[in-house]
Amino acid sequence: MISERSPMVLVRADSGKRASVRLSPARTVGTAATEPEHDWRKPMVGTTLRDIRTHIERLASDDGEYYVVCARSGERPVPVAGKRFATRTDAADAAQATEQYRAALRRYDPQLPFYDPVACQERPADANAAAQAAGESNAPTRALGNGDTQTTPPSVDRDPWDDSPLISFCHDVSGAVFESLSARDHEDAERAIMETYMAAAEATTDRNTLCLVLLETMASELEAHLETAERMQVLRAAATNLSPVEPAADPVEASLAFLDSLSLIREYGVTRDSTDSTDGTDDVWTVSLRGYAIECGESRFPTLPIGIDILRRSGTPDEPLGVTDVTALGEGDWQFVLRSDATASGLVCTWGERQ
């Protein structure tokens, strides 16, 4: 992690190369803005979100001295957060790909924050000391077209190096689901999600709340507009659109630990058992959650983020997996059972009995 005060050199991505999906004019960083009205019924065109992210991951290097930040806020936006690059060219290419990625995702998620990604080089420690001795400013500098530099203001009241992992995860999931819906021509579900979400977004401007509202809206509208088999097809396809992770020996435990690290859940408990069946041995997980951050209502349990993350961590994502025996323990508190031998249902949204 680089100190907020570390001086750096910013390199603007080559303006001669344009992404296939053009970004709208610059907006105030960190605020939600709405694009001109789109026809949400049209499928996403051009490169997919997964292809763009894969391109960025191929450019990345474990020990590179370049990285990508927002020139105005210093934040590292998805999908380049935490990534480094070996050369200035690779970092500039990644900055352009970041614009393309976020412009494509914003077609479906208009509340996605606007950033101005630029390539940035970390100065060695001895160069930092020399710069401070010479009285140079610690503020970042940005390369301009005329060869001059411009001081880049630091982020205000936020860690400029860390886009919220929860917000990033929510927007990644929403983008993956929208892309999956579009590829399968589920226009009614797409339109219903956007109409419900945009109406809810008018009532709040808090970014954390908005991203959770988006997931809750998705889960509810998918349940209302798609049959069980269709929901599972969309969910499995969306799981493959997310950044790949290594298959886990216990995908349920790994997923709950990850969601807990995001503060999507406050705490959890899980036990795993095996049962014999005609087809061999089936796994059964008994799960308890406390402080689930997504609004659930009296007995409705939107399981979308849990289901999609379990699927992407499973070595056999096509195997049946379902939620049964759901009990609402209190506000945000749930107990349920995941069965590998169950009819594949409940991984998007389900209902439980009040205790």
Instruction: Read off the pLDDT of residues 85-141 as tens digits, 9 standing for 90 and up.
Output: 999 999 999 999 999 988 887 777 776 778 899 999 987 655 555 555 555 544 444
Helix residue ranges per DSSP H, the chain: 49-59, 88-106, 125-133, 165-183, 187-201, 207-225, 228-241, 251-261, 304-313
Average pLDDT over every residue of 319-339: 92
Higher per-residue pLDDT: 36 or 205: 205
pLDDT at 333: 94
Express each pLDDT in 224-249 by its tens digit: 999 999 999 999 999 988 877 899 99
Is the model's pLDDT at 286 over the cut of 90?
Answer: yes
CA 144 to chain centre: 31
Average pLDDT over residues 190-209: 80
- Categorize the per-residue pLDDT at 67 as very low, low, confident or very high, splitting at 50, 70 and 90: very high
Grade residue 175 by pLDDT with cuts at 50, 70 and 90: confident
Write down the pTM of the prediction.
0.65
Task: Categorize the per-residue pLDDT at 75 as very low, low, confident or very high, splitting at 50, 70 and 90.
Answer: confident
Q: How far apart, in Å, are the Cα atoms of 15 and each of 10, 18, 95, 223?
A: 14, 7, 11, 44
Burial class (CB in 10 A: 0-12, 13-18, 19+), 340: buried
